[in-house]
Amino acid sequence: MSAVLPLPVLRYIEGHSDPRRIIAYNTKTWSVCLYVTAIYLLLVFQGRRWMKHRKPFKLRRPLFLWNVGLAVFSIFGTAAVLPSVLHSFYYYGVDYTVCFSDGPTIPRFAIWCYIFGLSKILELGDTAFIVLRKGPLPFLHWYHHVTVLIYTIYGINDPNALGAIFSGMNYFVHSLMYSYYALRANGIGVPRWAAQAITLLQLSQMFVGVFVTLRAFYNDRSGHMPGCTVKDDVFFMATVMYFSYAVLFIHFFYKKYCGSRNTKSH
């Protein structure tokens, strides 16, 4: 089931994608993301120190445009990947989907999974706005950016159906999240429940991530689905990443939406 994208250039890119070349190129260059994350962390904490005695930048218009751009990109990514994943879940079931559904070995998904990985480098810019505007920078924020970047880039070296599932979920959640941020940056009031709903979607994404990873690993090791393969390193990274995200997002949700309410009631 293929999503029809409105821009001819995107259809052209999809139609001229060679999964083998993408995977081969990424295998040679993926370690660059380690240097990117090291530079990112250095700039984050040095930037916080540099801004300590300076007035925060407003950056309202750039922040709005930044979020609109990422929201539009995420909407295209959702349209390109998620319908096929949902189609597979509906018609073929969970086991088939986590093992054999359209993934990075299919030309149009290869490019979208690769772009998804590269977009995690671009999204590091979120932190620059926080640092320059002297906003709160919780551990969850930079830990999430660093780990998801390393995993998504490295995971392209092991093409499997999980890549399409992970990217499809993330594209969808980010299309809502960045749209929400864009509205906030433009001074448009957004109901509290909308922020709560987005956080719950993020949390649900983590639980689904843990489940499909464990299911694919089980299918591989048990022989329940012959031909289903998940490498040990990718399995370990995905499980630790999604489980840690689930714990951190639960803590974040409770602290922001439940803890404050409890405090006010006393």
Please give the residue that has the higher pLDDT: either 173 or 25.
173
Over the stretch 103-131, which tens digit does the pLDDT of each residue have?
A: 555 656 677 888 898 999 999 999 999 99
The full set of domain ranges for the chain reads 8-265
Q: What backbone torsions phi and psi does residue 74 show, to the nearest 5 degrees?
A: -65, -35
Which residues are catalytically annotated?
144
pLDDT above 90: percentage of residues in the chain: 52
Q: How far is CA 254 from CA 223, 241, 258, 259, 261, in A?
A: 40, 20, 5, 6, 10
Q: Which residues contact 173 (CB under 8 A, 6 or more apart)?
A: 198, 201, 202, 205
Length of the chain in residues, anyone? 266
pLDDT score at 14: 62
* CA gap 249, 210 in Å, rounded: 14
Which pLDDT does position 106 carry in this prediction?
60
Alpha carbon separation from 243 to 86, 114, 208 (Å, rounded): 23, 24, 10
What is the C-alpha separation between 214 and 20, in angstroms, rounded? 27
